[in-house]
Amino acid sequence: MKKNSMWSLKLNTASLVLIPAAVGINYIGKLFAGALKLPLWLDSIGTILAACLAGPIVGALCGAINNIIYGFTLDPVSFIYALSQVGIGIVAGVLAYKGKMKGLVGSIITGLIIACVATVVSTPINIAMYGGQTGNIWGDALFTWCTANQFPTWLASGLDELVVDIPDKVAVTLIAFGIYKALPKKLTILYKNDQAIESLD
């Protein structure tokens, strides 16, 4: 049986229906984090889960659609941040496909890599939109300290984003990994496109 490439874009109905569910999971994660007053965003569980289930392309689509929906309903600024969600989806999909997300350590490393990618994509946006801040108290406190100590803006802003992203993305990846492990096989098999379909007629 030939294994299909992870980039093969076979948007079957199952993967398409996964996207709104993933966006919903992102939204619920954010809602629960808010309701329990947790100091993290936890708003990319769905994106990472979808990327693990159906590969980088669906993951990227989930990330993009997630922010487009936010943009059209709650906060227009999130349109631009769709780029960083796309980055998260692609990286999570690639790493999951390569089998890096096995076990606790693998998930933590994956989370760290995702955090770095998210930072690299978000920092230029933060600088262009808000002069480098993120809106998170801890990150912005660090930003203030860096700016007051004559750090260049890109470094101050990057650290601002990174310090929030690392705990957030590691936590999100661990949660997504835990859920992924617990999913029944008959569900995960729907999204794998490495099976050959045999026609009987």
Partner 1 sequence: MKSISLYQDKNTVIHRIDPLSKILYILVAIIVPFLLASQIASAAFILVSIIILLMGKSLKRTVPMLGFSGLILITVVIIQGIFRPDNVTPALVLGSVVFYKEGLLFALGISLNVINILMSFSILVLTTKPSDMVETFVRMGLSPKLGYVLSSVFQIIPQMTETMATITDAQRSRGMETEGNLTTRVKAFFPLISPVVMNSLITTKERAIALEVRGFDSKQKKTFLTEVKKTRSEKVIKIVLAAVLILSLIGRVLIWLR
Footprint (CB under 8 A) of partner 1, residues 48-87: 49, 65, 68-69, 71-77
CB 42 within 8 A of CB 168: yes
Helix axes 153-182, 45-54, angle to 10 degrees: 60
Classified as helix, coil or strand, 4 is coil
Q: Which of residues 153-182 bind partner 1 (CB under 8 A)?
A: 175, 178-179, 182
**Measuring CA to CA, how many Å separate 169 from each of 147, 155, 188?**
25, 20, 23
Count of positions on this chain that bind partner 1 (CB under 8 A): 56
Taking a C-beta distance cutoff of 8 angstroms, is the pair 144, 132 a contact?
no
Distances (CA, A) of 163 to 53, 96, 111, 170: 28, 24, 13, 12
Interacting residue with partner 1 among 38, 103, 104, 192 (CB under 8 A): 38
Distance from C-alpha of 169 to C-alpha of 5, rounded to nearest angstrom:
26
Q: Which of 84, 110, 121, 143 touches partner 1 by CB under 8 A? A: 143
Coil, helix or strand at residue 88: helix
Place of tokens 């890599």: 113
Comparing CB distances to partner 1, the nearer of 29 and 89 is 29
104 contributes a contact to partner 1 by CB under 8 A: no
Kindly tell me which residue out of 1, 36, 105, 200 binds partner 1, with binding defined by CB under 8 A. 36
Instruction: Identify whether the C-beta of residue 121 lies closer than 8 Å to the C-beta of residue 139.
Output: no
Residues 15-34, interacting with partner 1 (CB under 8 A) = 16-21, 23-25, 27-29, 31-33
Of these, 8, 9, 135, 192, which contacts partner 1 (CB under 8 A)? 135
Which residues of this protein are in contact with partner 1, per CB under 8 A?
Answer: 11, 13-14, 16-21, 23-25, 27-29, 31-33, 35-39, 42, 45, 49, 65, 68-69, 71-77, 129-131, 133-135, 140, 143-144, 147-148, 150, 175, 178-179, 182-184, 187, 190
